[in-house]
Amino acid sequence: MQETQAHSAGLEVNLSNIVLLFFIGIVTSATMVVPGISGSLILMVFGYYYSIINTVTSFFDALRILNWESLIYNASLLFPFGVGILLGVFLISKIIEYLFIHYPSLTYSGIFGLIIASPFAIIYNTNALADLSSSNAISFTSIGIILLLIAFYLTYRLGKVKQPDSK
């Protein structure tokens, strides 16, 4: 059997991976229901972002050239992930609805906590702070602080714009 991109990315077709991809699909589907959470971030935290992307790319490459062996291989990995996403959207939306009705403050706080933690997870998983050990650390930090202040100011100014009365 030819080694596909998905196989070389660490995903193999076996029962444990199929079950794992199903549950990762369920958890990832929460990002479609809960506001402010990135699906890519969740996959990065779990360590499956590049594997899923490579599998999808390999699937479409196989579809384009009609490589049936690779197509079936990649589909057998993507199918449980997709079913998990579909089932998860339904389940998570029902759970979130219940939580908003019975525990609105805690639910908003939890979502806000996830939103606040997202940049830290992205920085950690992408090794973005590695550039700060270089000779350009001061310029990178200065540019980052300047952009932060500009974004804060623009957000503040746009928030103060009054909407015309609709009478």
My answer on whether 40 and 80 are in the same domain is yes
My answer on whether 67 and 9 are in the same domain is yes
Q: Per-residue pLDDT tens for 142-164? A: 888 898 899 888 887 777 766 66
My answer on whether 70 and 114 are in the same domain is yes
What value does the CA radius of gyration of the chain take, rounded to a whole number of Å? 21
My answer on whether 102 and 143 are in the same domain is no
CB of 25 closer than 8 Å to CB of 84:
yes
My answer on whether 73 and 153 are in the same domain is no
Annotate 96-152 with DSSP letters as a single string.
HHHHHHH-HHHHHHHHHHHHHHHHHHHHHHHTGGGGGGSTTHHHHHHHHHHHHHHHH
**Is 85 a member of any domain?**
yes
Pick the range with the lowest mean pLDDT from 120-129, 135-144, 151-160: 120-129
Number of domains in the chain: 2
**Is 167 a member of any domain?**
no
- Cα(43)–Cα(149) distance, rounded to whole angstroms? 30
Residue 62 belongs to what domain range? 5-126
My answer on whether 45 and 88 are in the same domain is yes
pTM score, whole prediction? 0.60
Rounded to the nearest integer, the mean pLDDT of the chain is 79
My answer on whether 113 and 136 are in the same domain is no
CB of 51 closer than 8 Å to CB of 9:
yes
Q: Per-residue pLDDT tens for 65-82? A: 887 888 888 888 889 999
